Amino acid sequence: MEKNVMQQVFQYKVDAEGIATFTIDYPGKSMNVIDQAFIDGLNDCIRRAVADAQVIGAIITSAKDAFVAGADLLTMEANLDAGADDSVAIAFEKYASLSAVYRRLETCGKPIVAAINGVAMGGGFELCLACHHRVMSDASGVVVGLPEVQVGLLPGAGGTQRLPRMLGVLAALPWLLEGKTATAAKALEAGLVNAVAAPERLLATARQWLLDQPHSTQAWDQKGFKIPGGNPLDPRVAPGFVVGNTMIVAATQGNLPAPLAIQSCVYEGCLLPIDKGLRIESKYLLAVATLSPVSRSMIRTLFINKSRAEKGLHRPAAIAAFKCSKLGMVGAGMMGGGIALNAAQRGIDVVLIDRDQEAAMRGYGYAEKALAKQVQRGRLAQDKMDAILKRITPTTDYLLLRDAELVVEAVFEDRAVKAEVTRRLDAVLSPDCVLATNTSTLPISLLAQASIRPERFIGLHFFSPADRMPLVEVIRGQQTSDQTLARALDFVAQLKKTPIVVNDARGFFTSRFIGAFIDDAISMVAEGISPPLIDNCARQAGMPVGPLAITDELSIELSVHAGQSQAKEFGADYRPGRSVPVLQKLYALGRMGKKVGQGFYDYTDSGKRVWPGLALLFPPREAQPAPHDLKQRILYVQAIEAARAFAEGVLLAPADGDLGAILGVGFPAYTGGPFCYIDGIGLTAFVNEADRLADLFGEHLRPNELLREMAASGQTFYGPKAGPVPVP
């Protein structure tokens, strides 16, 4: 059976002129991916071409629209579990297997040309680099690149060795460290490919190169070869590694092992013959893939879980697909304007409603301004901008929503205001129209009480700016029907966003998750912990912005009013956070945040600095906590909150929590999200560290019973030992 699959992955054909064509066409897959069947198939093609004296050279191309998308990450994840007990020697040979077959290709003695007809990424482009010549189609959408660093890996099939030998060390490093992609024109200019051809001329151009008596030995295999621009010890090159390492540490805070590993691969490997360099590369690939949880966590969340969510992981089955052609958008603020723009960009007609025409026009103006910037930067044609704006109708007239198929309400975060809008909508909407409320905290089931059809009511929590942020938190109320959930998920997919689905509860998942972080960080001020230490440790832990700085950005006034609204809404059930006394003191002093130039920081034209008065309001401790302990506290308080949400049945699966944390509220991507983070540490080690932190800083860091039970029974959130999902 394996032999049959192997033969199908590559179609082998030789023409009358002795040119072999290796056509990649992985059966049953929309895109060609690299796995063991791919490796075996390529090996077989090489063997046949070498053994046939009539073959003068070979073309490698694809029968699919894309060339090769890269490694099959699903298989990679499965292999990590299957190979957990492999010896180092066996693991090394596995991780070096693709590199070995590519090396066999380039040293087979016959010229090989890559005819790149579609996207070639990662290991797919490394296959092209191993060929003796590269011809790339100039069709729209065809790009090449080595994006492995973006999922915590390094190009491990020769990319870190061949690219510097082709371009020079300093020219190659940005392509390796940034994971950039290149169109045909840019690839040719950079030297990534040798020629560009129109799609209909691609194979003919590749054939002609083979007929022109080409070389079959790579430059780096020829005697006397020298790397363009000098090797890593060359005075022109060596300073680049010093600067590069400094920039990497500053950008990653040492949390991502792959960029430094890439630098090491290039530095060490380019001082040696290529065969030794390739082994060094395989060594570092094995290390980043297996010795650190980072790459596995990033792959699991940012590729596997994200892909599953976008393909309808939680979509009810047996319900017809839904496509929205007319959307109602009630509330034309920044959020409403962003949603309207996003929908119009996807070909949906939008009726944008607010309390008066002036307010509605402000939402329209948001879309107009955002599109104008794209036109100015050459990213959008003027006629396309005009067509998008034509789909948005700013108005005050609810009657225009009679034939809308879905309506999103994004008015002020107040239950009474939202109830009034819901009643007005129910009076005009068709019976099967879905009504979605955009709210970050108010329970959907409570808001649905204002509707005459709660089964058609659902929460869609967008993140600001809504036209750019990739996540939508879909909240199912107690009476939300399967059909409504399916329609909401189809609409999110139509917007090209990633959905997570959660059960109804105050704060849902993302708001309570980020709230735990912000609340705890602000309470540290009251504990006498230095404000710069708080924000700096948060950034060192991988958070994009310090919690005090982000509170100033969002507005202290907004935070205080949100707390007052929650207290009014939930009465005796409201539990104020530990940050409330700090925020109220600043609010009383008129320190509303960055918008007024005064918050935790003072803002001037020359920059910002911590307000000296904080030390008078909240005297600093004599002995400050160790930065390591604060970084742990910052990450653990969020992970523990995620575990609580999971135990309460708010989350349908750990994947929703991980995606929501990273894509929605900026939890460090290198962790893979809170549940990948806990698994990466190990449940027992995590529980023990959480107990230590609770002893240091307070009971809110104490792990819940779910975590203790999972640790005791050897369970994990992912993998073969994954525990059951709690039922709400």
Residue 336's DSSP bridge partners are none
> What is d(CA 705, CA 726) in angstroms, rounded to the nearest whole number?
12
Sheet of 326-330: strand order equals 392-395, 349-353, 326-330, 406-409, 434-437, 457-462, 471-476, 498-503
The first and second tokens of residue 98, run together, are 């693709």
In degrees, rounded to 5, the angle at the alpha carbon of residue 86 between the alpha carbons of residues 85 and 92 is 145
Q: Is the peptide bond before 465 cis (omega within 30 degrees of 0)?
A: yes
Instruction: Tell me the DSSP string of 567-632.
Output: HHHHGGG----TTHHHHHHHHHTT--BGGGTBSSEEEETTEEEE-THHHHHSPPPSSPPPHHHHHH
Q: Please, are residues 265 and 160 in contact by the beta-carbon 8 Å criterion?
A: yes
The first and second tokens of residue 378, run together, are 């050459």
> What is d(CA 265, CA 556) in angstroms, rounded to the nearest whole number?
47
Q: Is 550 helix (H, G, I), strand (E, B) or coil?
A: helix
461 is catalytic: yes
> What is d(CA 656, CA 500) in angstroms, rounded to the nearest whole number?
5
From 132, 133, 314, 461, active-site residue? 461
Q: Please, are residues 241 and 270 in contact by the beta-carbon 8 Å criterion?
A: no
Q: Which alpha helices (DSSP H) does 117-228 contain, by range?
A: 123-130, 159-167, 169-178, 184-190, 202-211
- Give the DSSP H or E segment for 120: strand 120-121
End-to-end CA distance of the chain: 45
SS3 content of the chain, % helix, strand, coil (to 5): 55, 15, 35
Question: Cα-flanking dihedrals φ and ψ of residue 651, to 5°?
Answer: -90, 140
Q: Rounded to whole angstroms, what are the CA distances from 66 to 119, 120, 155, 303, 633?
A: 5, 7, 19, 18, 45
> What is d(CA 113, CA 132) in angstroms, rounded to the nearest whole number?
6
CA-based R_g, the chain, Å: 28
Q: Please, are residues 406 and 436 in contact by the beta-carbon 8 Å criterion?
A: yes
Residues labelled as active-site residues: 461
